[in-house]
Amino acid sequence: MAANFWASTQRRHWLFSKEKLAEIRDNLKERDKLAHSQFPLPDSRLLNIYFNQQLTKLGKRMSTRQQALATAQVYVKRFYTKVELRYTNPYLVLTTAFYLACKMEECPQHIRFVVNDAKLLWPGTSPYPITSVSSVRLFLVPSAHTYALDFITSDVSKLGECEFSLISEMNSQMIVHHPYRTLSELQTELNLTSDEVALAWSVINDHYLTDLPLLYPPHVIAVMAILTAVVFKPSQTNFHGTGPPSLAGALREGGITNALAAIGEKNSPGPPPRVQRVINWLAESEVDIKAVIECTQELVSLYEVWEQYSEKHCKELIGRMVKSKNLDK
């Protein structure tokens, strides 16, 4: 396993500019505009929240480590840069990404247990004909001879076929570097408290709900999370949906941006000592400060749109899409 991010396939093949990522998604949309008009889906950030919650539920049922769940989310993001979401059964993709990530993160789960738990977690109830999944690209192909099935069937071979498709679309580039490692390494160096580490860990968890894993190196994400945790003390805010709007307001008002602006301003009063220590370290490091600010802005966008999130609405739209016999058109 490659221990060096700078020599990794993640850096060479799975980091994009915002413009490139938008172009990739526009190209996928152009291939089938009718599917987009027939099956409108929520904002991608709302879908990310929904997918994250579903993976978390599956992970809790199977007592899975957080890093495996993070890897699964990255797999899903990578896969959907190659395949249009409306051509797939997202529940099968989520289950397969989870199963594959557990193997890669050395906490493997038996395929039958994964299938059984996923089947219980996401039962299908539609009485209408649905489509079957092809074995290579997961395209949903209409058939007059298929009838209502659960989102996840008991046939473990379906997950095996989907696993082959994920590995193929990702060109067998399965190793994912996460910000958690950088956070652990900097904990002692920056003298972070346990509360600050816990809050930074939560920020890192939340960044998987955005495009940031496809846009910035993990060490930039980790620095952004640390700075957020130090500037906004754990007692001031909560994460994971319990208080994102309040944090969005605080971030929008320029807490981190103002702190970063202190770099190089020797005569300014400056931020509090704990924040200043992180600022001093950042000024002496080679971390891209502009990238840190851009990551913060992406989080602001996530927490603001979170107010519009409805699990029921996402579930209904995805369910209708998956179970429609005309989904491929």
Reported pTM:
0.83
Helix (H) or strand (E) holding 160: helix 156-169
- Tens of pLDDT, residue by residue over 257-309, are 555 555 545 445 566 777 888 888 888 888 888 999 899 989 988 988 998 89
Report the C-alpha gap between 138 and 50 in whole angstroms.
21
Q: What is the pLDDT of residue 107?
A: 93
Q: What is the pLDDT of residue 248?
A: 53
**Domains along the sequence of the chain with CATH:** 15-175+310-322 (1.10.472.10), 179-308 (1.10.472)
| pLDDT over threshold 50, residue 158 | yes
Residue 36 — very low, low, confident or very high, per pLDDT cuts 50/70/90?
Answer: confident
| CB atoms near residue 153 (< 10 Å) | 16
- Tens of pLDDT, residue by residue over 207-253, are 999 999 999 999 999 999 999 888 877 555 444 444 454 555 555 55
Report the C-alpha gap between 82 and 170 in whole angstroms.
8
| pLDDT over threshold 70, residue 311 | yes
| pLDDT over threshold 50, residue 128 | no
The encoded tokens of residue 243 equal 């208080």
Mean pLDDT, the chain, whole residue set = 81
Q: What is the pLDDT of residue 129?
A: 42
